[in-house]
């Protein structure tokens, strides 16, 4: 009996040893990344780089040299779709040492950054690191998981942005089958690129009763649609992210920013933000906007006209977020109002947290005033806003908070300066006076639960040197496979 036990133990050890020997540690640099993209650095726009820093020199963390390293920067996002072919992602993380001599560094401020790892769209690790400290180890379980995303985020100290060179040293993915892992990653890369490069044929303009519809060209795109209901004129571009680029009272001024020519008919790389205006949406949670998926932001959408006065735009599949976007626009003949419904559908096999960030870009040079309801009594969350900039132009009157702008206000903004207002309100609506036309956006009157907002406030506007954005944020919803989250807006144009 003892002899049999010894044989059994020996066999168990042998099998375990064979299992361990069968594991492969594959260097991250050897695995095809499905979706990456440039981020802003002091040296200009840069892709994350392996085995050298952004100046082309050897990689050091706290004085120690690393031959196998990934050097990024705050805003970095690398996505690997692995289809359950990985077991563990591990390595060391710190901030790369080298700072250009000519770079002006703020005295007395430490530089921190966070390594953030998402697995199947859920944050599973947030590891803070500090410039000058030794690299710290990390390890993440990937068994049975579809997707790995590696992010570099700001950290506790928002200063010293130019130094936030988050670096992974000796990063590897452990797998039972190296060849299968590499083949799978490569196939996902091909699928992702295919969605971005997919060519679509577009139908003729619809023939609706009470409307005049035509197919038109806009700069860089041959297939846009102009809709005229006798009161409103609208141009929609399915070829450029399903955006609404023009909205105006008949014979009046366009209330939307309209700069599709900046794309030159091309889909920009992931992480490259180009302000082209119009109406568009981003998926939430909040950090999803760090590096949007160009399939959603700028991809070629399918367009359909199912009934008179209704337009349906459907995005390519986003294999970064495992979402598909749909936009439904409804108009009536002779009405200055329209309804815009956005939805995101979960196309993953796992539950997927998502919400809708609605943005409507308008021209600064035409914007005179913004009104928001002053009816937040009983709501505990105070507004968040850029006090030094907005206090001088803000006034409460007749149940509204009015912000009145001059051209000098916009001229005074710095190149990268952003001025914002975020608030909770019983009535979620924004009124913007643009070239003597009131552009009114509303949602259903309700107070969204703070716990469902993922750090956002429902009502939001942003002012910058290049654009003004009128924004809404929906609550987040944990979507089951095939489930959708939807958000409905009601728009109205009227003369001043």
240: containing domain: 212-495
Q: What's the pLDDT tens digit per position in 111-128? A: 899 999 999 999 999 999
> Which CATH number is 303's domain given?
2.70.98.10
164: which 2 tokens? 């936030």
The pairing of beta strand 122-130 with beta strand 64-66:
unpaired
> Which CATH number is 130's domain given?
2.60.120.1060
Same domain, 222 and 189: no
Report d(CA 249, CA 466) in Å as an integer: 24
Residue at 19 is within a domain: no
Mean pLDDT of 327-336: 98
Residue at 204 is within a domain: no
Same domain, 125 and 258: no
Same domain, 122 and 163: yes
Helices (H), 53-177: none
- Helix (H) / strand (E) element for 346: namely strand 337-346
Residue at 153 is within a domain: yes
Q: Is the sign of the CA dihedral 263, 269, 274, 277 positive or negative? A: positive
Report d(CA 474, CA 460) in Å as an integer: 11
Same domain, 414 and 339: yes
Same domain, 298 and 391: yes
The CA dihedral of 346, 347, 351, 356, to the nearest 10 degrees, is: -20
Report d(CA 243, CA 490) in Å as an integer: 17
Q: Which residue do the tokens 């430490």 mark?
A: 110
Name beta bridge partners: 235.
Answer: 226, 246
All residues at 6 or more sequence positions from 307 whose CB lies less than 8 Å from its CB, including other chains:
none
Q: What's the pLDDT tens digit per position in 15-56? A: 444 444 578 999 999 999 999 977 777 777 888 999 999 889
Same domain, 193 and 216: no
Same domain, 231 and 292: yes
Mean pLDDT of 184-191: 97
Same domain, 407 and 324: yes
Same domain, 118 and 229: no
Are 156 and 109 spatial neighbours (Cβ–Cβ below 8 Å)? no
Same domain, 161 and 216: no
DSSP one-letter code for 176: S
Residue at 9 is within a domain: no
Residue at 11 is within a domain: no
Same domain, 490 and 357: yes
Domain end: 148, 164, 197, which one? 197
Residue at 98 is within a domain: yes
Q: What's the pLDDT tens digit per position in 229-254? A: 999 999 999 999 999 999 999 989 99
Q: Is the pLDDT of residue 11 over 50?
A: no
Higher pLDDT, 23 or 329: 329
Report d(CA 409, CA 199) in Å as an integer: 43
pLDDT computed for residue 13 by the predictor: 44
Residue at 64 is within a domain: yes
- Return the minimum-mean-pLDDT range out of 2-16, 18-32, 141-155: 2-16
Domain end: 142, 168, 197, which one? 197
- Helix (H) / strand (E) element for 323: namely strand 323-331
Residue at 410 is within a domain: yes
pLDDT computed for residue 381 by the predictor: 63
Q: What's the pLDDT tens digit per position in 427-469? A: 889 999 999 999 999 998 777 888 888 888 899 999 998 889 9
Q: What's the pLDDT tens digit per position in 337-373? A: 999 999 999 999 999 999 999 999 998 889 999 999 8
Domain end: 169, 197, 225, which one? 197
How many domains, in total, are found in the chain? 2
Report d(CA 51, CA 236) in Å as an integer: 45
Distances (CA, A) of 465 to 20, 408, 409, 436, 487: 57, 12, 10, 21, 29
Same domain, 334 and 263: yes
pLDDT computed for residue 379 by the predictor: 59
pLDDT computed for residue 29 by the predictor: 97
Helices (H), 274-412: 294-297, 387-390, 407-411
């Amino acid at each position: 009996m003892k002899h049999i036990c010894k044989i059994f133990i020996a066999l168990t050890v042998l099998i375990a040893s064979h299992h361990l020997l069968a594991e492969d540690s594959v260097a991250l640099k050897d695995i095809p990344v499905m979706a990456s993209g440039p981020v802003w650095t002091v040296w200009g726009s840069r892709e994350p780089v392996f085995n050298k820093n952004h100046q082309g020199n050897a990689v050091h963390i706290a004085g120690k040299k690393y031959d196998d390293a990934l050097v990024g920067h705050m805003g970095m996002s690398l996505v690997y779709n692995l289809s359950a072919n990985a077991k563990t992602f591990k390595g060391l993380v710190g901030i790369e040492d080298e700072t250009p001599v000519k770079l002006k560094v703020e005295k007395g401020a430490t530089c921190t950054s966070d390594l953030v790892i998402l697995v199947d769209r859920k944050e599973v690790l947030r590891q803070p690191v500090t410039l000058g400290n030794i690299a710290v180890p990390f390890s993440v379980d990937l068994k049975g998981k579809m997707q790995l995303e590696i992010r570099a985020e700001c950290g506790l100290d928002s200063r010293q942005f130019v130094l936030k060179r988050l670096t992974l040293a000796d990063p590897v993915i452990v797998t039972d089958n190296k060849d299968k892992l590499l083949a799978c990653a490569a196939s996902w890369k091909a699928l992702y690129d295919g969605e971005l490069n997919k060519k679509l044929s577009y139908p003729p303009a619809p023939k609706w009763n009470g409307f005049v519809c035509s197919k038109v060209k806009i700069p860089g795109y041959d297939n846009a649609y102009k809709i005229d209901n006798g009161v409103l004129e609208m141009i929609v571009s399915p070829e450029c992210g399903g955006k609404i680029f023009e909205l105006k009272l008949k014979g009046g001024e366009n209330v939307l920013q309209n700069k599709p020519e900046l794309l030159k008919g091309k889909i920009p790389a992931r992480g490259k933000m180009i302000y082209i205006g119009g109406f568009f949406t981003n998926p939430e949670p909040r950090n999803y906007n760090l590096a949007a998926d160009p399939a959603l932001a700028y991809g070629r959408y399918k367009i359909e006209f199912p009934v008179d006065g209704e337009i349906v735009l459907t995005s390519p599949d986003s294999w970064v977020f495992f979402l598909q976007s749909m936009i439904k626009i409804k108009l009536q003949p002779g009405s200055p109002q329209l309804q815009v419904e956005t939805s995101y559908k979960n196309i993953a096999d796992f539950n997927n947290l998502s919400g809708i960030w609605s943005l409507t870009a308008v021209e600064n040079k035409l914007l005179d005033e913004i009104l928001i309801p002053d009816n937040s009594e009983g709501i505990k969350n105070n507004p968040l806003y850029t006090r030094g900039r907005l206090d001088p132009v803000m006034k409460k009157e007749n149940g509204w908070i009015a912000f009145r702008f001059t051209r000098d206000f916009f001229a005074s903004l710095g190149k990268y300066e952003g001025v914002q207002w975020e608030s909770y309100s019983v009535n979620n609506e924004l009124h913007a006076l643009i070239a003597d036309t009131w552009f009114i956006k509303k949602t259903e009157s309700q107070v969204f639960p703070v716990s469902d907002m993922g750090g956002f406030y429902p009502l939001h506007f942003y002012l910058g040197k290049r654009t003004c954005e009128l924004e809404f944020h929906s609550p987040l919803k944990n979507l089951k496979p095939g489930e959708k989250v939807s958000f409905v807006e009601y728009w109205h144009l009227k003369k001043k």
